[in-house]
Amino acid sequence: MSKRTLAILAALGANLIYAINHTVAKDVMPTHIKPFGFILLRVLGASFLFWLISIWAPKEKIDKKDWLRIMGGAFFGMCLNMLAFFKGLSLSTPIQSSIVITITPIVVFILSAYLIKEKIKGLRWFGIFMGFAGALTLIIFGQELRMDAPNIPFGNSLFVVNAIAYAFYLVIVKPLTAKYHVFTLMKWLFLFGLIMNIPVTISEFLEVQWSSLPFDASWRMAFVVLGTTFTTYLLNVYALTNLRASTIGAFVYLQPLMAIAFAIIVGADSLNVVKIIAACTVLIGVYLVTKKPKEG
C-alpha cells in the first residue's frame, strides 16, 4: 500500500471520528461538563499522551525560526478551533455543526494558494465546489438532528470561526511536517495549546463533579480525548506529510455524510433521495480533489 493511500485512509479515519464526535460530545454538554471545561480535558489528556509516546520517538531539536509557527499552529489548532467548536456545539446541533464546517476546504484552498504557494488547478477547483454544492444541498434540504439547541444562529457562527481556525492550522503546520516527526510536532503543539487554554477553561473544568460522573458521560469524555483529540490530530498530521493541505481540508466535506449516517444508525435521522444525491455529489467532489495531479 502506497504512502499516499495510507495518508488518504488516515484523513478518512480522522473525519469519521470527527463525524461521530458531533453527536457523542453533544450528549455530554452541558449536563456533565461545560464546553470550555471539555476543551481543557481534551488538551490536557492529549498533551499527556503525546509527551508519553514521544519517549519512543526520535529526539529532535526545534529550529528557533519554527517556534513562532508552532505557537501559531497551537493557537489556531488547539485553542481557537476547539473552543469555538465545542461552544458552538453546546448551542447548536450535531448535524448543523457537521454541515457548517464544510466551508473549511474553501478557506484552506485560499490560504494554501497565498501562504504556502500550493498550485491549484482547474479540476481540483471544480471538485472543491462540487463538494460544496453537495454540502449546500444538505444545508437547504437535509433534516437536522433534533437536540437541545438554545442558540443555533450563534452556535453556527462559532462553527464558522472553528472552520477558519482549523484551515489556518492545516496551512501553518503543513511545512513543519516535512521537517519533524509527527510525535515531536504534536507534543509541542499540544503543550502550547494547553498553556493557552488554561486561563479561559480552568473555571469550567473545576466545576465538574468527577467523582459522580455516570459511565455514559465517562466513556464519551474518553472518546473525545482518545479519539477526537489524540487519534485525529495524529492521523491528520500524518496525512499532511503525504497530501496537500487543501486535500486534507477537502475531506471535511465527508463529515455531514458520516454524521448523518451515524445519526441514522442510532435512529436519530433518516435517509431520503435528496441526501443520496447530495452524498454522491460530495463523494465525486472529494475524489476530484484527492486525485493525484499529473506531473508537468
- Reading the block at residue 277, the C-alpha cell is 444525491
Residue 13 lies in a domain: yes
Tens-place pLDDT, residues 51-85:
999 999 888 999 999 999 999 999 999 999 999 99
Taking the C-alpha atoms of residue 241 and residue 89, their distance in angstroms, rounded to an integer, is: 30
Tens-place pLDDT, residues 199-231:
999 999 999 999 999 999 999 999 999 999 999
Residue 184 lies in a domain: yes
- The model's confidence at residue 293, banded by pLDDT at 50, 70 and 90, is low
Taking the C-alpha atoms of residue 42 and residue 66, their distance in angstroms, rounded to an integer, is: 25
What residue has cell string 467548536?
Answer: 85
Whether 279 shows a pLDDT value over 80: the answer reads: no
Domain range for 31: 3-290
- Which of 30-34, 117-121, 184-188 has the lowest average pLDDT? 117-121
pLDDT score of 93: 73
Residue 79 lies in a domain: yes
Residue 296 lies in a domain: no
Residue 117 lies in a domain: yes
pTM of the model: 0.79
Taking the C-alpha atoms of residue 227 and residue 221, their distance in angstroms, rounded to an integer, is: 10
| Cβ–Cβ under 8 Å, residues 227 and 112 | no
Residue type, 290: T
Instruction: Give the count of domains, the chain.
Output: 1
Residue 197 lies in a domain: yes
pLDDT score of 120: 63
Taking the C-alpha atoms of residue 237 and residue 170, their distance in angstroms, rounded to an integer, is: 9
**% of the chain at pLDDT higher than 90:** 41
* pLDDT: which is higher, 112 or 81: 81
pLDDT score of 116: 62
Residue 172 lies in a domain: yes
Q: What are phi and psi of 119, to 5 degrees?
A: -85, 125
pLDDT score of 109: 72
| Cβ–Cβ under 8 Å, residues 46 and 233 | yes
**Cα angle for residues 56, 57, 58 (degrees, 5° grid):** 125
Q: What is the mean pLDDT of residues 247-274?
A: 74
- The model's confidence at residue 101, banded by pLDDT at 50, 70 and 90, is confident
* pLDDT: which is higher, 253 or 213: 213
pLDDT score of 135: 67
